Amino acid sequence: MAAAIALADDGGLDAVSLRKVGAALSAGPMRLYGFVDSKDELLDLMADAVQGEIGVPAGEWRVALTALAEATRAAVLRHEWFADLMGGRPRLGPNRLAVLEGSLAAVLPAFPAVDDARHVLWTVHAYVAGAVRAEVGERRAARRTGVDKPAWQAAHGAYLRRTLATGRFPMIERFVAEGTDGDPAAVFAAGLAAVLDGLAAQRR
């Protein structure tokens, strides 16, 4: 599993193949089937290992959920492939259960109704999963074409300039002209704050 994570860390999920993992352990591909029933199960194990890195949150509900979200984002920056796995399907590994348990314990005092607490967790999780995935997507796109803005414009600029030149997208024109690329961490935190504000307001 450590070998698989190392492979995924540089090269993405596509670089994780049973052959390569086996080779990293100087073994054949089929050797892995003694420990795992399928590749999906290996991915489940990898995902739960990252959940273990995240740690279980505690404390007042807002600080606990903020800590959980920031830790999740940090883990995703270490293991970008985790963003692809997060939302995919429910993975109830032991570490995931521990995170859930801690989150529930932190939220229940403020939201005593079980369904309300679930609503809070679900909403925050949806935001975090979507946000980190979008951030990783942009990061990958930027890495593919070159980090700096001129290189990006040189790559996709032809299509975009032509499209914007039609004048059908005045607002988007304003955005590429006036918009400033904010610090990703601040953008993430601001969105998270909005979500938590809304949840706090719903609490009557």
Of 39 and 62, which has the nearer Cβ to DNA?
Answer: 39
Contacts of 163 (CB under 8 A, 6+ apart): 169
Residue type at 138 in one-letter notation: E
Q: How far is the CB of 19 from a second copy (least distance, A)?
A: 19
Of 28 and 198, which has the nearer Cβ to DNA?
Answer: 28
CB atoms within 10 A of CB 204: 4
Binding letters toward a second copy, positions 34-73, x by CB under 8 A: ----------------------------------------
16, 83, 85, 192: which one contacts DNA (CB under 7 A)?
A: 16
Of 45 and 71, which has the nearer Cβ to DNA?
Answer: 45
Q: How far is the CB of 174 from DNA (least distance, A)?
A: 36
Calculate the alpha carbon distances from 191 to 10, 34, 105, 183, 185 in Å: 29, 44, 24, 12, 10
- HEC profile of 83-142: HHHHCCCCCCCHHHHHHHHHHHHHHCCCCCCHHHHHHHHHHHHHHHHHHHHHHHHHHHHH
CB atoms within 10 A of CB 61: 24
| CA torsion through residues 17, 81, 91, 49, sign | positive
Binding letters toward DNA, positions 35-54, x by CB under 7 A: ---xxx--------------
Residues forming the site for DNA (CB under 7 A): 16-20, 27-31, 33-34, 38-40
Residues forming the site for a second copy (CB under 8 A): 87-90, 92, 94, 97-98, 100-101, 104-105, 108, 114-115, 118-119, 122-123, 125-131, 133-134, 137-138, 140-141, 156, 159-160, 163, 168-172, 174-175, 178-180, 182, 187, 190-191, 193-199, 201-202
